[in-house]
Amino acid sequence: MSTQKIKNIIIGAGPAGLAVAGRMRKANLDFEVLEQTDKIGWSWHNHYDRLLLHTVKQLSHLPHLPFPEDYPLYVPRQKLVDYLENYAKHFSIKPHFNTTVNSIKRVDDAWQISTVDSKVFTAENIIIATGVNRIPHVPTWKGQEHYKGEIVHSRNYKNTQPFENQRVLVIGMGNTGAELALDLSEQNINTTLAVRSPITIVPRDVNGRPVQLTAKKLAKIPFGIGDWLGTQIRKVIIGDLTKYGVPLSTKHPAVQLRETGKTPVIDLGTVKKIKEGKIKIIQKINAFYTDGVVLENGEQLEFDSIILATGYRAKVEDFIENVDGLLDKYQIPKQPIGEGSQKGLYFVGFDNYKLGGILGTINSDSETIVNHLSNNQK
């Protein structure tokens, strides 16, 4: 078993890890990156085909390298993959690929990383960039083992081809669930969407202008007037969806995000399909049976396939030995800079409670972390 001593180690070569690495390169700080897969930005290589960033390109690039000018306003998945790979080349970021971290623990005055292939690294600082979307969340229901159709998590959804001529249920109306239901319905696939709890829906654009940019301007208006205007815009554009069976939250998007951890659903056309009846809505599922699901009122609905758009979990406790006081009520790190027994641990891209999107969070977290490292290593 060999031990390598390194000043700073970044775990993860997705956007979060790259953002920190890019800033560290600019700040002349030494680092190494450990990546469990064989690719830069592995998740983005494997997301569903139609995925575009929901945030505008000028607010979504990584530090010190804007997207190419010819990129569209909402960057497609493959173009983002190309950008991430170019970012790594631009900043000479060369991860240790196929290196899966098994455990992180404090040993004397350093952090020790053990990998599944028996490598051991020690570091003064570890930047954990494994993200909130590390482990698919796969809930279970009574009777699920008797269901004879196929159940897949949204991570494994690529396009509509496997679902042609089927009756498909998408469980969960977050941004992924709403977009997968839209994808299916646009191909005239019989689509139903299960909405389990109240949601907030915002249009991506209004009159051709990105709502994200409008919201930033509204946020500067004092006395809550901007919030009120935003609510009126949503009422006009989205309308009352409760009559279609969609439970809507009465809270402002930022408040709901902070209190429940649920990001607003950015509408790309799902609302129109719901109003047209092309996407049917059901609410809480009580159980499964051989041919489909059973609702709370006892109604049985038949489906050929079920897609679980039920999100992910960060689960840093799987590999960090001591998480006492580290995690919030959603089981994610409370802040970017570890304190106390976690001093020397840093967390980038875990704050999911901002309306600017995860790439905006990554940008701000990486700046906070690298400034802190720079000040402590002078």
Maximum average pLDDT range among 152-161, 238-247, 311-320, 335-344: 152-161
Q: Using the 8-state DSSP alphabet, how is residue 62 labeled? A: P
- Is the pLDDT assigned to residue 39 strictly greater than 60? yes
Contact 185, 191 (CB under 8 A): yes
Per-residue pLDDT tens digits for 153-202 = 999 999 999 999 999 999 999 999 999 999 999 999 999 999 988 888 88
Same-fold call for 3-134+314-376 versus 137-308: yes
Q: Which CATH architecture best describes the domain 137-308?
A: 3-Layer(bba) Sandwich (3.50)
How far is CA 145 from each of CA 142, 148, 151, 293, 297, rounded to the nearest angstrom? 8, 8, 11, 12, 21
How far is it, in rounded angstroms, from Cα 42 to Cα 207? 35
How far is it, in rounded angstroms, from Cα 3 to Cα 122? 7
Q: What integer pLDDT is reported at residue 261 of this predicted model?
A: 67
> What is the DSSP annotation of 144-201?
GGG--SEEEEGGG---SGGGTT-EEEEE--SHHHHHHHHHHHHTT-EEEEE--S-B-E
Residue 214: both structure tokens together: 């409008």
Q: What integer pLDDT is reported at residue 291 of this predicted model?
A: 97
How far is it, in rounded angstroms, from Cα 225 to Cα 64? 34
- Is the pLDDT assigned to residue 129 strictly greater than 60? yes
Side-chain-facing half-sphere of 68: CA atoms under 13 Å: 12
Q: Where are the domains of the chain?
A: 3-134+314-376, 137-308
- Is the pLDDT assigned to residue 235 strictly greater than 70? no
For the question of whether the overall pTM of this predicted structure is more than 0.85, the answer is: yes
- What is the mean predicted confidence (pLDDT) over 279-304? 95
Number of CB atoms found within 10 A of residue 367's CB? 16
Which of the pair, 194 or 232, is modelled with greater confidence? 194
CA dihedral sign of residues 31, 37, 38, 44: negative
Q: Tell me the CATH number for domain 3-134+314-376.
A: 3.50.50.60
Which of the pair, 258 or 37, is modelled with greater confidence? 37
Burial of 325 (0-12, 13-18, 19+ CB in 10 A): exposed
- % of the chain at pLDDT higher than 90: 69
Q: What integer pLDDT is reported at residue 210 of this predicted model?
A: 74
- Is the pLDDT assigned to residue 218 strictly greater than 60? no
